[in-house]
Amino acid sequence: MRSTVPGPDVRPDIMSTYDYCTLDVFTDRAFGGNPLAVVLDAHDLAETAMQSIAREFNYSETTFVLPAVQPAHTARVRIFTPSGELPFAGHPTVGTAYALATLGVIGPDVRDIVFEEGIGPVPVRIERAADDRVSRCTLTAAQSPRWVASLDRGAQLAAMLGIGESEVPAAAEVWSCGVPFLVVPLASVAALERARLDSARWSELLGGFASEKVYPVARAGADRMRVRMFAPGLGVAEDPATGSAAAALSGWLARHMSTGDGRHRWTILQGEEMGRPSTLDLEYEQRGAEATVARVGGGAVMVTRGTLAL
């Protein structure tokens, strides 16, 4: 998927080209969900070049596909935001699997693959429709969700989000499946919709805290949650779909919302306020008040294919 021979209309100082595609992830239609760029063969790209490419796309994440270290694994995947590398992220994992399966890099008979990411091996299941089109990809988080810290400062959290103190009815908690998020429970979907992150208050309250990624959540039905995610420290003012946060949320749900051992399923709705509605299907195994395995899945849509000239 890469050529090192310049064509007649290419500048002579351009030595290599790299195929890429872009997708909208956790949606079934273009211009919904979360955009993702996938560079399809990046084995000879330096880390500095990957970071520059991620800044050029300026999506919340860009992935770079490299050969797997372990022969039994499908590929090594590196994930960059505009400002740095992540060890794991949901919509890049799901979107990269969708891209490779759709483009035929992963064969039509293959259902289960493993990506090597910074966090470790991440299994992904690929589902296809009757016509063999990829319909859905579901990751299993490499780590079970774990509680990291609590922040019982309702007034300050409310001020940071521009809502009333009574609309933050319980302490915020940091949960992680490899990437930590501050889960802020809100009293209503209306409060969630009105939330606006105050960057000065955010910096004052969360600078140096266990997580600076703010994930306000509100129940929207028996098994539905509406969520948002703000990560200005990563160069992401707001994210329309955050799979790693949904995986981490399973720990919070198991402790505060779900009852009984066994398998629980929730629909996570995100991106409405940005005009990019996203649907993430969350499933986890519960033992006592703990979520032991978290899976996040959804669809994607291929939007563009192109070539980077470097």
204: phi then psi, degrees, rounded to nearest 5: -70, -40
State the catalytic residue, choosing from 47, 56, 61, 85: 61
Cβ neighbors of 189 (< 8 A, separation 6 or more) are 218, 219, 220, 226
Q: What's the one-letter identity of residue 234? A: L
- Residue that is written with structure tokens 């289960």 in the block: 112
Sign of CA dihedral 257, 261, 265, 271: positive
Q: What residue type is assigned to position 146 of the chain?
A: R
Contacts of 201 (CB under 8 A, 6+ apart): 156, 159, 160
61 is catalytic: yes
Torsion, Cα 87 76 276 296, to 10 degrees, reads -70
Active site residues: 61
